[in-house]
Structure 1
Amino acid sequence: MLQTVKDFYMSTGFANITGGQILMILVSFLLLYLAIKRGFEPLLLVPIAFGMFLTNLPLAGLMTEPIMGPDGHVQEIGGLLYYLYQGDHLGIFPPLIFLGVGAMTDFGPLIANPKSLLLGAAAQFGIFITFFGAIASGLFTPNEAASIGIIGGADGPTAIFLSSKLAPHLLGSIAVAAYSYMALVPVIQPPIMKALTTKEERNIKMKQLRHVSKLEKVIFPVLATLIVSMIVPPAAALVGMLMLGNLFKESGAVARLTDTAQNALMNIVTIFLGVTVGATASASAFLNVKTLAIMGLGVVAFAFGTAAGVILAKIMNKFLKDPINPLIGSAGVSAVPMAARVSQVVGQKENPSNFLLMHAMGPNVAGVIGSAVSAGVLLSLFSGF
């Protein structure tokens, strides 16, 4: 009887759990706390944290690969999350997320003020600074460095899309870093924005944006897809789905498809994407020097992206008749619409009558396009390595 009890205990997770798994489970609990209690990107961090929790449960085998027999048939099926993870590995989930994002995005502020495209492009500077920083560290290959650099775009699906193709073994670390820092945008950005601007600059009031016609809004997604895909073909999957979703919305002819893309599809894919990304953060894959370096480089990426947008706005003001508030330059890091809201909040603290939100949405949505283009460029350069 005693031996039976002992054998049962040895078959449980309690007898097989490792120190690394305990630590990762505690990390998942921390992320759940930040998401639920502190409100840091809960729609993303809750499934990611729970996926991390599930994958580190001993003997659960939720990310176990199937065992194939010599005849090519499956002898033992894999874990549930392993099969769901194929949506990440094959690059399916990120473009579907972009479809939903496009259906919820208004490109009107960008169309009304095309100059804001430059601010969105400038914010991608953080991607390439981080890439070179990762190479200089000596810890990463060019493929890994490219995947880490894309964290600077502040776009989780793009980071997952690129890392799944160039450095799938780092997917968990990169995704957790990207989404964690996206959640911390209201903490990271304001000190940088204030340090790089004067009180006078933060008080600049911008003219109201012009009205954008429906025809312009319908033409834009088609034209943007054509131009971007012709210049950077590997970006076509992300930009194409983003613009298809936006065309659903702006055409006004497919209300059911728009509603599905904005709600049901977006929510379903977010759950699958989040849980499976978290499931890649096993103790063996996550607890190493490279993960610490990725977390550190992620901060650098966000800081340089924020700074580049603000600095370019200041430079542009030397040549513009109607100055722009440099605070909106920080919104080019893509995290929609959080980065635009940060510009609004910081601006209103200086002047409660100053409304920058719609102006900041221009570089904010430009940053979404910019991060996808940057991912396409990096994919073009390093997919053969």
Structure 2
Amino acid sequence: MGDVIFNFIQSTGIYNIEFRQIIMLLLACTLLYLAIAKEYEPLLLVPIAFGMILANLPLAGLMAEPENLIKFHTINTQEAAINAQKGIFNVDFLTKFPGGLLKYLFKGDELGIFPPLIFMGVGAMTDFGPLISNPKSLLLGAAAQFGIFFTFIGAIILGFDAQAASSIGIIGGADGPTAIFLTTKLKPELLGPIAVAAYSYMALVPIIQPPIMKALTTEEERKIEMEQLRTVSKKEKIIFPILVTILVSLILPTAATLIGMLMLGNLFRECGVTDRLSKTVTNELINIVTIFLGLSVGATAKGENFLTIETLEIFALGVIAFMVGTASGVLLAKVLNKFSKSPINPLIGSAGVSAVPMAARVSNKVGQEENPGNFLLMHAMGPNVAGVIGSAVAAGVLLSFFG
């Protein structure tokens, strides 16, 4: 009886838990607190944090690899030689353990399926009208991607290889799906810390960006009121996603997957004849994929892989990338304002990072703190959606060079 009880105790997670797993469980609970109590990107952080919990539960095996038993056949040597020439070998692989649930969900990340589907949903939920109405927004979205390449150089200097540096730099785009897509292609072993860093900084946009925006602008600049955007026709909104897909894909084929799915979703929204598809993409599909993506990405953050000096370096470089991207957008907006006939509030430049629509809301909020009658939201949405395109293009550039 004593042996039975002792064996049971040995089979419990409490008996087998390690210090690193305890730390990861505490970190996951902290992310859950931020998501639930502070409402920092809860749709993303809740599944990611819970995936971290599931992956770090001792003996649970939710990210375990399938295990096989090998059964050998006893046949004569001549028959074995004939079979070998035909590519037939004398063993059977009998599945002993099929593998953990999250290991199979992770195939959607590993094979590059989930991120493009997320992009399709984002496209279907996004109005490109502000960008079409004010094409200068493309420059602001492009400027904000400077943080990606600045951090790429910094990571190279710190000793990361080009693939790892590319995956770290893309955090500066503040676009979780793009970061996951590029990392799975270039450096899949870093997916856990890079994905958690990317989504964490997306959630912390309202905390990280305002001090940078205020430090780089004067009170007078923050009070600038912009002219109302022109009305964009339905024809323009239909042509735009088709034209962007063709042009970007012809110039940069490696960006076709992300850009194509983004623009397909937007075409569903704007063409007026696919309402059912648009509703499915913006509701059921993106919600299901978000759950699977969050759980599987969080599950890659296992203690033995996550709690390293390398992870701390990734988080530090990630926040630098995000801050530099924010600053670059603001500074270019200040420059454009010097040459523009119509006034440009530099605050909208910070929305060039592609955290849609949170970055645009932050630009609007900071502007209204200085001038309550100033409404920058729609103006900031131009650089914001340009940032989504820009981060996908930046990922395509890095993938074409180092993939």
TM range (shorter): over 0.9
Q: Say if 2:279 is the partner of 1:259.
A: yes
**Which letter maps to 1:163?**
T
Q: Say if 2:296 is the partner of 1:282.
A: no
Deviations 1:241-284 (A, max 9, x none): 00000000001101110000000000000000000000000001
Q: Say if 2:178 is the partner of 1:155.
A: no
Residue of structure 1 equivalent to 2:88:
none
Residue of structure 2 equivalent to 1:15:
15
Residue of structure 2 equivalent to 1:130:
151
Residue of structure 1 equivalent to 2:2:
2
Quote the offset at 1:128 in angstroms: 0.4
Quote the offset at 1:71 in angstroms: 4.2
**Secondary structure at the counterpart of residue 28 of structure 2:** helix
Provide the C-alpha distance between the structure 2 equivalents of 1:169 and 1:228, rounded to a whole number of angstroms: 29
Q: Unaligned 5+ residue runs, structure 1?
A: none
Matches within 5 A, 1:173-322: 173-322=193-342
Provide the C-alpha distance between the structure 1 equivalents of 2:117 and 2:162, rounded to a whole number of angstroms: 27
Check whether the contact 2:146–2:325 (CA below 8 A) recurs between aligned residues.
yes
Quote the offset at 1:74 in angstroms: 3.8
Residue of structure 2 equivalent to 1:117:
138
Provide the C-alpha distance between the structure 2 equivalents of 1:207 and 1:95, rounded to a whole number of angstroms: 35
Quote the offset at 1:152 in angstroms: 0.3
Structure 1 pair 212–28 and aligned structure 2 pair: CA distance change class (3 A): same
Residue of structure 1 equivalent to 2:358:
338
Deviations 1:221-259 (A, max 9, x none): 000000111111111110000000000000110111000
Q: Unaligned 5+ residue runs, structure 2?
A: 71-90
Residue of structure 2 equivalent to 1:52:
52
Q: Normalising by structure 1, what TM-score?
A: 0.98
Please give the root-mean-square deviation of Cα atoms over the aligned residues, in Å. 0.9
Residue of structure 1 equivalent to 2:76:
none
Q: Normalising by structure 2, what TM-score?
A: 0.94
Q: Say if 2:137 is the partner of 1:108.
A: no
**Which letter maps to 1:77?**
P
Residue of structure 2 equivalent to 1:379:
399
Residue of structure 1 equivalent to 2:119:
98
**Aligned to 1:361, which of 369, 375, 381?**
381
**Which letter maps to 1:106?**
D
Provide the C-alpha distance between the structure 2 equivalents of 1:60 and 1:342, rounded to a whole number of angstroms: 41
**Secondary structure at the counterpart of residue 263 of structure 1:** helix
The structure number with the bigger radius of gyration is 2
Deviations 1:52-104 (A, max 9, x none): 00000000111011124454564431111000100000000000000100000
**Which letter maps to 1:243?**
M
Provide the C-alpha distance between the structure 2 equivalents of 1:150 and 1:72, rounded to a whole number of angstroms: 41
**Secondary structure at the counterpart of residue 205 of structure 1:** coil
**Which letter maps to 1:130?**
T
Deviations 1:274-316 (A, max 9, x none): 0000000000110000100111111101110000000001111
Residue of structure 2 equivalent to 1:30:
30
Deviations 1:191-236 (A, max 9, x none): 1001101111111111100000000000000000001111111111
Check whether the contact 2:227–2:343 (CA below 8 A) recurs between aligned residues.
no
**Aligned to 1:326, which of 343, 346, 363?**
346
Structure 1 pair 36–241 and aligned structure 2 pair: CA distance change class (3 A): same
Residue of structure 2 equivalent to 1:84:
105
**Secondary structure at the counterpart of residue 53 of structure 2:** helix
Residue of structure 1 equivalent to 2:372:
352
Deviations 1:89-147 (A, max 9, x none): 00000000001000000000000000000000000000001111111112x21101100
**Which letter maps to 2:357?**
P
Quote the offset at 1:30 in angstroms: 0.5
Provide the C-alpha distance between the structure 2 equivalents of 1:320 and 1:15, rounded to a whole number of angstroms: 67
Provide the C-alpha distance between the structure 2 equivalents of 1:340 and 1:300, rounded to a whole number of angstroms: 20
Identity of matched residues, %: 71
Provide the C-alpha distance between the structure 1 equivalents of 2:137 and 2:92, rounded to a whole number of angstroms: 58
Check whether the contact 2:172–2:322 (CA below 8 A) recurs between aligned residues.
yes
**Which letter maps to 2:326?**
T
Quote the offset at 1:319 in angstroms: 1.4
Quote the offset at 1:323 in angstroms: 2.1
Provide the C-alpha distance between the structure 2 equivalents of 1:118 and 1:373, rounded to a whole number of angstroms: 13
* Alignment coverage as a number of residue pairs: 382
**Which letter maps to 1:96?**
L
Check whether the contact 2:24–2:302 (CA below 8 A) recurs between aligned residues.
yes
**Secondary structure at the counterpart of residue 359 of structure 2:** helix
